[in-house]
Structure 1
């Protein structure tokens, strides 16, 4: 989730010393491992630069949303990861599918970085990582440069907060020297999704848009996720279609969400199903609004109303571990809307 960047008052010299020491140690180890054939340096190009991982990372840290799920899915427990601050219904900083995986691995919860006000660089440095995974993130160049003083950083490939779940796995697993295992994980998830989707033929080809955090007290404007957002991308994984109206609007921007006046609601007459966050009050407000109620999806009652602060609502943004956790429930809700 996008965060407001925060400058942390760090002492530059100690951080630089730590970064140089880590690089020196990694370089030496990398030569030994390369010589033994156990590790080949990995170079990853991304939106904020080029990162080379000289030696096999033993201590893995992750920042921003869901990056920790890749090493966990591959059996590697991070030394530190971002605390969940969305959908964490029990307030312990971890989401249920992460808790289940940690229990499966017999592992304690890693150090949790509080990113409420931005990345906690000191906390990340304290975990002494060999690599920092952030293939799905909103890192600024300044964030990236500061983290790079701690350890090699894998940032997003093109757009902030726009990395598809497959690429998140590809990039983060590559950084761990586990590209083959990452590819197997992708294949397994695709197979699982195909099997689950086959049980819900009523949603096949239905067009869907994701309204984002609509204010039930002010429906003069509506916001929606563009095709650059992973929530909207997930519809195609589920055999659904992108409405032409959303595709056209998305082609004009690289933003992950856009806002339109309610007076332009008729532009979305090609939407079969609406997914959004909210409660019954929101659905009632949409149905009673003189403009938005004319949208076919609203008029037909084809609205999937996800509880925004629950794990179910969070999992609509697909991540390596949440896909399996949410798949059946999400498909069931979409099928119910398709039949409305």
Structure 2
């Protein structure tokens, strides 16, 4: 697909920059297997919600924490030596399929997996020390100030710009590129993704102005994702609009989701619903659950569903490597089109 070819082109440009830099310096040393960065503009100062980080020189061993920065780095031709594991998505000791494929395609050794059994609630500091990074990227994460301060004793850390788990997908790519000294390549990558999204929007003019809400069914409540959540924000790039009821009912105080009791579901008014589930069985059960029939769009059959952990992760939000992953965003777009076509 066009995006995949563009990613390869961007990564190729980064590798070419490495080769040119080596020639300019008269070096005969081979490039490091973890694709050390030879970007420009160092030292680089990054300001974020948890402080100010100075990256003195081009990093040679990058570690990532949270979501999406691994893929952003890879798409820019940089292969981290250690990454946070995704327990809920693929289980302990496994890699996201698009990440594993990227390393295998590049012939690069798979990175160390940093233990994350609690979704960022704890940080495996000893594993970070063992990985010996000279830069830690965590622009879409839940790092606390204490965790950030402790990690900063190991290596410079780039955290989120405003609040935990709310960094827009495009801003995460931009932050990652800047921290790596590859801002120009980051702009090219974002332009490729934006072109793909624009083409998708043009192919679905029926999306323009239609309102939606993204939810996850709980026990006696549903979790409603706010406009601050990247999985929601990326869908607005297709001409869709977050339903006004989402912000009207919001109790998150700037968070990326809030809980809405079953008693309030009739107030969640939208043209259609995007529902996320951990399995096909859960997704099917949701559609027939009496309580959620109070949501007008559910009662009308206007629901686009995403299920199974890997597929949910591929669009929650999409990353630099998963925008065109089979079964991910393209399948969700088809599901949305089908939901809107319901009479």
Of residues 173, 176, 180, the one that matches 1:172 is 176
2:271–2:302 contact (8 Å) kept in structure 1 = no
Where do residues 117-128 of structure 1 align in structure 2 (5 Å cutoff)? 117=118, 118-128=122-132
- Pick which of 94-103 and 182-191 moved more: 94-103
Question: Normalization by structure 1: what TM-score?
Answer: 0.81
Q: Distance in 2 between matches of 1:42 and 1:128?
A: 20
- Separation of aligned partners in 2, 1:190 and 1:110: 29
Contact persistence 1:75–1:105 (CA under 8 A):
no
Alignment: residue pair count: 297
The answer to whether the Cα contact below 8 Å between 1:66 and 1:319 also exists between their aligned partners in 2 is: yes
Matched, 1:144 2:148: yes
Structure 2 residue runs of 5 or longer lacking an equivalent are 1-38
1:133 aligns with 2:137: yes
Go from structure 1 to structure 2 and tell me whether the alpha carbon gap of 1:38 and 1:298 turns closer, same or farther (over 3 Å shift).
Answer: closer
Stretches of 4+ moved more than 6 A in 1?
A: none
Q: How far apart are residue 199 of structure 1 and its match?
A: 2.3
Give the deviation of 1:66 after TM superposition.
Answer: 2.3
Q: Give the corresponding residue for 2:231.
A: 231
* 1:315 matched to 2:319: no
1:208–1:275: 8 Å Cα contact kept in structure 2?
no
Q: Is contact 1:169-1:186 (8 Å) kept?
A: yes
1:81-125 Cα shifts (integer Å, max 9, x gaps): 112223227x65211111222122221211111111422111111
Q: How does 1:1-340 map to 2 (within 5 A)?
A: 39-88=41-90, 92-117=93-118, 118-212=122-216, 214-215=217-218, 218=219, 220-250=220-250, 253-278=253-278, 279-289=280-290, 291-309=291-309, 311-317=310-316, 318-325=318-325, 326-340=328-342
Structure 1 CA distance, aligned partners of 2:49 and 2:298?
39
Q: Which region of structure 1 is more displaced relative to structure 2, 114-123 or 91-100?
A: 91-100
Change (3 A) 1:93 1:190: same
Aligned mates of 1:97, 1:119 — CA distance in 2:
24
Deviation at 1:283, TM superposition (A): 4.3
Cα deviation for residue 79 of structure 1 reads 1.1
Does the 8 Å CA contact 1:227/1:250 hold for their aligned counterparts?
A: no
Whether the 8 Å CA contact 2:213–2:270 is kept in 1: the answer is no
The offset of 1:335, in angstroms, is 1.0
**Inter-CA distance 198–87: structure 2 relative to 1 (3 Å threshold):** farther
Displacement of 1:236 in angstroms is 0.4
Work out whether residues 305 and 332 of structure 2, in 8 Å CA contact, stay in contact via their aligned partners in 1: no
| Structure 1 residues 295 and 49: alpha-carbon distance in aligned structure 2, compared to 1, 3 A threshold | same
- Shift in CA distance, 320/94, structure 1 to aligned 2, threshold 3 Å: same
Structure 1 residue ranges without an equivalent (≥5): 1-36
TM-score (structure 2 length as normaliser): 0.81
